[in-house]
A = this chain, B = another copy of it.
């Protein structure tokens, strides 16, 4: 009898068949360097023959740590979360790791307690924190306390490299607005994201950078703030398009608001991009599916998530993983030369 009653061979079965001790098998599994080559081969042969796979639950108990990596997020946008999940999966594919997901509520007063019990119980190997909740320093500190390694994803560097994968929103927006300037636009409106979001602040800085380096003065009458929703995008668009002189282009800090601006423009009979050029940010599904298709900025989300996951699970590979990523300007049809 080579196997246990429920069918799955255990380390004991391997040890018995290979004529060695459990510990030796364990050493083979964990690639211990101090091992006779012959012994290793013999054991590996038996493992292959039996189709033996170590039991993660038993390892978790013995090691006091689970082979689970967690994704903690506060629903920034569906596509981002899914992109991140894909990215993580591509990193843990063919490993023993699995991905557990934990949506939380940023505004809930017991969010931290919530995360604490979660981390405490599940004893995760590591967690990935998504924006905007990744901007919460108390959360990162909590992970530290509980001894779970973490990586934060964000729009700017806000932690050491081992704990961070960051895009550079400031630079990306500067590039996008610079592109508008390159098309001849000078009167360029700006729709900011909500106060308190680091991404919003960074994108605003990028806007100013671009105007500064082109020698264009800031004009508060063509700047507005929204909270990343379609509706606030409409409101912002109405305000900006009521200014005189009217802007010939508008950069909105995310796609939903850009769609709102587009809507507002159309409502007063303007055509895009003939009368108004628009650029958004995020490259969500709407960007490609509204009319005209929206020129926008895209984070390399999957690459970022993959790098983050590797930082979490593989300390040696981790060193080679970048902490900074450049976003791409996706040129579609919502921009025209002045």
Contact = CB atoms under 8 A, between A and B. Distances in A.
Nearest to A233: B289
A131 to B, nearest CB: 16
A290 interface: yes
Interface stretch (A25-33, A78-86, A213-221, A238-246): A78-86
A56 B285 contact: no
A8 B86 CA distance: 34
A263 B291 contact: yes
A75 B86 CA distance: 10
Interface in A104-123: 117-118, 120-123
A60 interface: yes
A202 interface: no
A82 B75 contact: yes
Interface stretch (A92-100, A134-142, A324-332): A92-100
A183 to B, nearest CB: 24
B122 A103 contact: no
**Which of the listed residues A66, A85, A256 has the most CB atoms from chain B within 10 Å of its own CB?**
A85
Interface in A283-338: 284-286, 288-291
A228 to B, nearest CB: 13
A262 B122 CA distance: 48
Interface string A268-293: 00000000000000001110111100
Given A56-B121, A121-B53, A290-B291, A86 B101 contact: no
A230 interface: yes
Contact of A60 (B57, B64, B117, B263): B57
A259 interface: yes
A9 B57 CA distance: 20
Q: Number of copies of this chain in the oligomer?
A: 2
A66 B289 CA distance: 42
A96 B121 contact: yes
Contacts of A37: none
A1 interface: no
A98 B100 CA distance: 7
A333 B33 CA distance: 68
A278 to B, nearest CB: 13
Interface string A121-137: 11100000000000000
A79 B79 CA distance: 7
27 contacts: A6-B64, A56-B121, A57-B57, A57-B60, A57-B64, A61-B61, A75-B82, A75-B86, A78-B81, A78-B82, A85-B101, A89-B103, A96-B121, A98-B100, A98-B102, A98-B118, A98-B122, A101-B101, A230-B288, A259-B289, A263-B291, A266-B291, A284-B285, A285-B285, A285-B286, A286-B289, A291-B291
Interface of A: 6, 8, 53, 55-58, 60-61, 64, 66, 68, 75, 78-79, 81-82, 85-86, 89, 96, 98-103, 117-118, 120-123, 230, 256, 259, 262-263, 266, 284-286, 288-291
Given A60-B61, A78-B79, 8 more contacts: A55-B61, A57-B66, A57-B123, A85-B103, A99-B102, A259-B289, A286-B286, A289-B290
